[in-house]
Amino acid sequence: MAEIVIKNLRKEFGDFTAVQSSSFKIEDGEFFMLLGPSGCGKTTTLRMIAGLELPTSGEIYIDKEEVGQKPARQRDIAFVFQMFALYPHMNVRRNISYPLVSQGMSKKHVRDKVAEVSRILGIEDILDRPVSGLSGGDRQRVALGRAIVREPKAFMMDEPLGALDAEFREHMAEELRALHDRMGATTVYVTHDQLEAMQMGDKIVVMNHGVIEQFGTPQDIYDKPATMFVADFIGSPSMNFLRFHGEVHAGASSVSMHHVDLAVPTVREPFQGDLVYGIRPEHIRLRDDGGNRGEVVAAEYLGTTQIVTVKTAGGDLKARIASDQPATPGETVSLDFNGATATLFDNQTGRALRSDLNEGVLSHV
C-alpha cells in the first residue's frame, strides 16, 4: 500500500486545459474522493494517476516513486471502471485471474488467489459463468475481484456505482467501504455524487473547471467551504446565499446587511465590496416574531425534517426545520440565523473570507 502525492499536475487536450496545476496528497490507506460536476477534470486526474493519460506537466508520486510518465502496467495499481469493463469473451474466473496471468504466476497459485478473492466477495458460485449474464451487482463484484486479486499499491475507481440502480447502490457503497476498511488499501474514488463522497470518503477533493476548489475532510468541506462553488455543490438543498454590498473589518463579529445586523464568526481579514452571506438550511430557524421577516412560499415534507422556502427582501431562502413545526405557505415568519456557522464570501471571486470558523482549512495543500 502506498501514499500518493500529486504535484502541480496539469493536463491539456489541444487548446483545452482539463486539469490546471493540481496538488494534493493522499495518505497511505486513505479512502480519497475526487468530487465535482461532469467535465471538471476529476476523471482526467484519476486517469493520470493510473497512467491511462500522461500529464502535460507535473509529477505523480506513488509510494515515493515518480511515475508521471510511466505506462500503466509499471505503476502497480488497479482500476475499476464505471462500466466494469469485464473481458466479455472470458468467464468470471478468467477475468479475475487475468492480471495474475500477466505476471506469469503459477497455475496453482492463481487458482488459490482467485478462490480467496471470490470468498471475500461472495462470488464463489458464479466463477464459471460467462460475464454477460451477470447482474449489475455481480459484475461490480467481479470487477472488484479483478482489482484486488493482485494486491496492488492503490485502487482507482471511476464512478464504480454509477451504473447500478439506486437501491443497490447504497448496499454496494457499504460493501465497498467495508472492503476498504478490511484491506486498508489506498483508494482514489471519482464521483459526481456529493452524498456518496460524504458517506464514503476519508478526504475529499472538490474540483471545478480543472481547478481544485477545496481539499479536506467531509466535515470541513461541508461546514467550512472555501468557495461559493463548494458551498453550493455540497449539501442538498445547498447553502443559502444572501448578496449585499457592505464592508467588514478584521475582528468584526457581525455584518450589516440591508440595515439588519447578522452575526458571523469573527472575521480575520477586512473586506469592502459585494459580499455574500452563506448559511446552511439547517442553521436557519423560523420564529413567529422578530426581525428579518419573510413569507413562506413552499414546504417540502421529508419525513423527520421539512424544507421550507421563505421569500425575503434578500432573495429566497431554504430552511430545514423539524417536520412537526407548522409552516403553511402564505404565512409570514421571522428568520433566525445561527451566525456561528455562517461563512462570508467575496461575491466577485467566490472565495470565502478568513474567519475564526474556517481558519486553517482554506488552503488546499
Partner 1 sequence: MSSYSITEPSPLQKWLAGTLVVFYAVITLLPLVWILTTGFKSPVDAIAYPPKILFEPSLEGYVNLFTTRTRVSPEALQALPPPSSWYEEIVRNRDMVIAGPSRYGERFLNSVIIGFGSTFLSVFLGTLAAYAFSRFKVPLKDDLLFFILSTRMMPPIAVAIPIFLMFRTLGLSDTHLGMILLYTAVNISLAVWLLKGFMDEIPREYEEAALIDGYTRFQAFYKVVLPQAATGIASTAIFCLIFSWNEYAFAVLLTSGTAQTAPPFIPTIIGVGGQDWPAVAAGATLFLVPVMVFTILLRKHLLRGITFGAVRK
Binding residues (CB under 8 A) for partner 1: these are 50-52, 71-73, 77-79, 81, 83, 85-89, 98-99, 102-103, 146, 150
Q: What 8-state DSSP symbol labels residue 168?
A: H
Q: Backbone dihedral region of 360: left (phi > 0), alpha (psi from -120 to 50 degrees) or beta?
A: left
| 301: its cell numbers | 415534507
Q: How far is the CB of 77 from partner 1 (least distance, A)?
A: 7
C-beta of residue 346 within 8 angstroms of C-beta of residue 273: yes
What distance lies between CA 37 and its chain's CA centroid?
10
Q: How far is the CB of 98 from partner 1 (least distance, A)?
A: 6
> Between residues 49 and 200, which has the closer beta carbon with respect to partner 1?
49
> Between residues 152 and 281, which has the closer beta carbon with respect to partner 1?
152
> Between residues 82 and 341, which has the closer beta carbon with respect to partner 1?
82
β partners of residue 143 = none
Q: How far is the CB of 79 from partner 1 (least distance, A)?
A: 4
> Between residues 155 and 215, which has the closer beta carbon with respect to partner 1?
155
Residue from 243, 238, 224, 240 nearest 346 by CA: 243
> Between residues 99 and 350, which has the closer beta carbon with respect to partner 1?
99
Sheet holding 4-13, edge to edge: 16-26, 4-13, 57-62, 65-66
Question: How buried is residue 35: exposed, middle or buried, by Cβ count under 10 Å (0-12/13-18/19+)?
Answer: buried
How big is the chain by its Cα radius of gyration, in Å? 24
Q: How far is the CB of 269 from partner 1 (least distance, A)?
A: 46
Q: How far is the CB of 158 from partner 1 (least distance, A)?
A: 9
d(CA 297, CA 238): 18
Q: How far is the CB of 95 from partner 1 (least distance, A)?
A: 9
> Between residues 71 and 329, which has the closer beta carbon with respect to partner 1?
71
3-state secondary structure of 328: coil
d(CA 210, CA 246): 32
Q: How far is the CB of 152 from partner 1 (least distance, A)?
A: 9
> Between residues 72 and 260, which has the closer beta carbon with respect to partner 1?
72
